[in-house]
Amino acid sequence: MYSDKAFNWIPVAVGISLVSWALFWFRRYRQARTWMPVEAQVLKIMEKSRGVRIGVGLYLYVYPSVTFRYEVHGQTYMGGESSVEIENIWVPDYERTSAFWADWADGKRITAVYNPTNPKQAMLMTELSKSRLSHHAAVLSAGLLVLVLGVILL
């Protein structure tokens, strides 16, 4: 069968996976922060929602689904990405009136950012929210801890 040592590789693999996942998201946010601002026009905005189970409760979170138009070097593009990940911008249903998009309407002029190396890529918010920062930092910390424990067990 398998030796006991073979199972000691499981924490190492889990640790590497968690660290890789957290670093992947940190890298995406860092890259998006280098994108260039551009004036955009909202073509269509809708609120979407997602139920999230936290403990024994089910909570409703809302986030914008925005289609916008912007121009880079005389070329017109359409965008639809609100943020690097939806969880970065969603708010609990009861806070929807204070969301950054609460006063947006079709036709409103807003600021978007576009990727200077690929202007077809654009989004509305690139900043990492405090809640997502703490989430990704916790995953990174847990991954490092599990990885170190796995290496010690080897």
pLDDT in tens, 37-73: 999 999 999 888 888 887 788 888 888 889 999 999 9
**What is d(CA 1, CA 3) in angstroms, rounded to the nearest whole number?**
7
pTM of the shown model? 0.72
Q: Is the dihedral of CA 117, 120, 125, 130 positive or negative?
A: negative
- Domain 35-126 matching CATH 1.10.3470: the answer reads no
Inform me whether the pLDDT recorded for 28 exceeds 80. Answer: yes
Inform me whether the pLDDT recorded for 154 exceeds 70. Answer: yes
pLDDT in tens, 4-23: 666 778 888 899 999 999 88
**What is d(CA 154, CA 147) in angstroms, rounded to the nearest whole number?**
11
The domain ranges of the chain are: 1-33+128-154, 35-126
Write the secondary structure of 106-131 as one string of H (helix), E (strand) and C (coil). Answer: CCCEEEEEEECCEEEEEEEECCCCHH
Q: What is the pLDDT of residue 150?
A: 84
Q: What is the pLDDT of residue 79?
A: 92
DSSP class of residue 20 equals: H
Helices (H), the chain: 4-7, 9-32, 130-153
- Taking residues 19-42, report their average pLDDT: 90
Q: What is the pLDDT of residue 3?
A: 60
Predicted confidence band at 88 (pLDDT cuts at 50, 70, 90)? low
